[in-house]
Every structure is written in C-alpha cells, then in structure tokens.
Chain A
C-alpha cells in the first residue's frame, strides 16, 4: 500500500485505499458521508487568454527591470554622495543615506513583487492533495539499528567488566569537581562596603557638574536646580594628573552625583535629626533613584517634586525626598550641607545610607 498519494484538481474522492495503515484506528471504516473531493479547478485569465498572459509577462519583466535600474542607482549614489562629514542633503536628510536606502529597498522590493506576480499570474496553480504518511522508519530499519546497538554493547563488554565501567564513571565525576570551584571563585571577592560608601566626606565641596566650580549659597536663588558632583572628581594630584580617571571616575561620578535645590524655608518640612542639613532652604539629595538607579533631575520647582523618568517614582524634596508615587521603596538619601571657611557649600559627611537601588544585603531602612 503506497504511503503517499498525490492528486490533481479533479482527483477522485480519496477512498479507503488511499489512506495509510489503519490497523489501530477504531473509527468506522466506511465514511458515512461521501467525501465530495476538491471543486473543479477554475482557470485564470492568464491561463486561457494569450493576451493576458503576455501582459502579465510584461509586468513581471518590468518589475525585474526596475529592480536592475534601482541597483544601478544604488551604485551611482554610492559614488556620487560622500559619506560622513560632507553635508550633501536631500530635503534636509543625508543624501547618501536616503539614496542608498531607497535604491537598495527598491532593488529588493521590485524583485519580490516580480516573483509574487509571476507566481500569481503565470506559474501553475493546480490544487494538490498530499496525503499524510507515518514518520517512523520501517520495521526492518528499526530492527537493524537495534541489532547493531546490541552487538556494540556486547562486544565492548561494558556489562561484563564492572571495574572498567565504574572507574570511567569515577573519572568523569572527578572531572566535574573543578567546574563549580572555578565558577564560584569567579563570583568573588565580596564587594565590601563599596555599595554603602561614596567619596563624599566631611568638608568636601559640592561643585557644579561639567564646570567643576564651587558654589556659594548666595549664588543660588529660590527655584534654582544645580546638578552637582563631589569636588574630588575635578581635583588633580601634585603632578597635575586627575585623582580619578577611567572606570573609577565613572563609578564615583555615578554614585556621588547630587542635585542641589533652593526652596522657600517655610515650605520645608525638615526630617527628624535633619534640621541643620540645609542652608537657608538649600537642600542636597542623591541624584540616583532608589528604585533601579536612574539619574533623576526632572525637578518641578512649583511642587518641589522630582520625577524619575524610568518608572515615574516621585519624590518630595521639601519633605526629606519622601516617596509620593511609583515603585521606589525609600526616599532619596540626603547629603548634609555646611559652609566652609571660604563660604562655599561643603558636605557635613558622606550619605548616612547607601545611594541608589536596593540590593540583597541592604537592610530595609
């Protein structure tokens, strides 16, 4: 009995004989309703009308021709328009990018359209029935494989020589031992207090980000927002080399970033024990969101709210950066401010809690 059967348009209804083995099938053998089979094939105009056929042919050739034209345009624009600093533009857009993109898109698109049109209009479109057939190998093949496998096991003697087998298993087990040792060792060393401390310390000046200039309280007006950094990031050693460079600079900058705002003193609700942390309404908070650590400075001076653009956590800077909204679990850490002998803003101490996002070992303060 054949395992697959194909039929064309007006094929007879597939009878019992066309189906694969049905030994395990419990459904009734005889179909209660005769299978009507496929409807009669209807020809397309291009099949029966030579003029339509010619027209479709011309369309397809035109598409392939257009594609070739686009490819030529692609090459021409590649050599015509410089890439990079040269400012040739078409309608305010980069000329090279636009022409290369459009011509390459056209070259591919017209090939695609041509092929689809070819398939729809000219290629044979007979309905075809392909019967399903079992996926398993034949019984003979399966028996042969099993026999070969058994022979191999028998000849290797793995069942008869347990000492060989067990010593092999033992060697494999020992081989697996170093894997967890190496992997676990690479997880270390433990971070220590890196997550809890920043480079802020007593007497370190609060300076403007980018310019690194120190700030006098008199320079800040109510409603001002200053994005600031610890002064150490802008300092140099005796030889003129910066104290922090490269990755350490980025790490300390990311942890030490603060925002300084000035609020009308009567609008501030100072936190417990934080009464002397501001200077005439000048307050300083960590810029790093306590949710997942986005830098935030979307400050509304009318409401004193700071919004995190990542997940909409909102903090009230007039009230110890209390969380008003959003997924953040704790307020922004506040940096206690003081004024040094020269009249510039300095930190009283490092933050009294870790800045930024929560982590496993952090207590739930």
Chain B
C-alpha cells in the first residue's frame, strides 16, 4: 500500500485515511453496483475493500 501511495509513507494519518476511504467509498458503490447487476463493478469494489483490510493488518501502529 505504501508503495502504491508513496506520499503516505511519511504520515501514518494519511496512510490510515487512505485505507479508510478505500473501505468506505467502495462499500457505498457496492450497493448501487449490486442493485444494477453490474457484477464486474461488484468484484472490483470487493477487491479494493479486501486489499485495504489486508493492508491494515500488515501495518503496525
């Protein structure tokens, strides 16, 4: 995650903000994606949320 977003390396708060947004925003999009039957969008959003959770797990506070 930090490699993907180099700017977050120096500031943990920015890193967590990035993770938080990567969990919340796809979470909202998932509702509309599922409702409209766009399965590719459902998969993309789920992958983003999963990766963000995995990144949270490997980051020691």
Asked whether A and B interact, the reply is no
Chain B residues in the interface with A (C-beta under 8 A)? none
Chain A residues in the interface with B (C-beta under 8 A)? none
